[in-house]
């Protein structure tokens, strides 16, 4: 049984990306809670960086995961682009392209692709605090573009399948 940190991106006074009244912080919290319920039902322990609409810095969230002695850290976000409907799909960010985090990122993306998202692959982002400061494998998953109408429709209409896809990608990676 692993201890998995689920980080709902943004929160509180930081809405994250917004589009037509939709706020990233709301989508990420809803997804993190749903993914956590699935992981707990499948025998894993889950630590949430937030369960309500509060803000903590990415560095604080990484420190929480480290202090909890977590085995894995998953940060859930929504992507955005300069123009509406410019880009589509899921992308996962990792510290580097090797090891457990990269394998987990590929598995999460692959599962989300089965739900219907375009798979934009994984990208190294060693400068992000939740990837750089965590002592455990960490993945930041961008679950579609918040300013893409098709990505939003897919997330909304197949929300449970999206949450299950993220959970399945995590579980495939931890054995």
* Phi and psi angles of residue 165, each rounded to the nearest 5 degrees, phi first: -65, -45
The span from the CA of 128 to the CA of 165, in Å, is: 24
Helix (H) or strand (E) holding 138: strand 138-145
Q: Which of 24, 64, 91, 142 is catalytic?
A: 142
Strand duo 18-19 + 22-23: pairing: antiparallel
- Work out the end-to-end distance of the chain between its first and last CA atoms, rounded to an integer number of angstroms: 10
Hey, which residues does 119 pair with through a beta bridge?
90
Question: Count of residues for the chain?
Answer: 175
Q: Is-catalytic flag, 172?
A: no
Residues with catalytic roles: 142
């Amino acid at each position: 049984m692993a201890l998995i940190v689920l980080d709902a991106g943004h929160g509180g006074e930081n809405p994250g990306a917004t589009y037509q009244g939709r706020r990233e912080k709301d989508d990420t919290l809803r997804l993190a809670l749903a993914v956590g319920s699935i992981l707990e039902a499948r025998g894993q322990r889950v630590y949430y960086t937030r369960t309500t609409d509060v803000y903590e810095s990415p560095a604080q969230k990484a420190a929480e995961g480290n202090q909890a002695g977590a085995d894995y850290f998953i940060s859930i976000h929504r992507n955005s682009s300069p123009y509406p409907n410019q880009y589509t799909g899921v992308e996962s960010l990792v510290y580097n392209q090797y090891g457990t985090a990269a394998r987990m990122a590929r598995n999460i993306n692959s599962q989300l692709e089965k739900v219907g998202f375009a798979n934009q692959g994984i990208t190294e982002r060693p400068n992000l605090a939740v990837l750089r400061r965590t002592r455990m494998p960490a993945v930041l998953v961008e679950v579609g573009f918040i300013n893409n109408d098709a990505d939003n429709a897919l997330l909304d209409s197949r929300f449970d399948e999206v949450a299950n896809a993220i959970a399945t990608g995590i579980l495939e990676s931890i054995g």
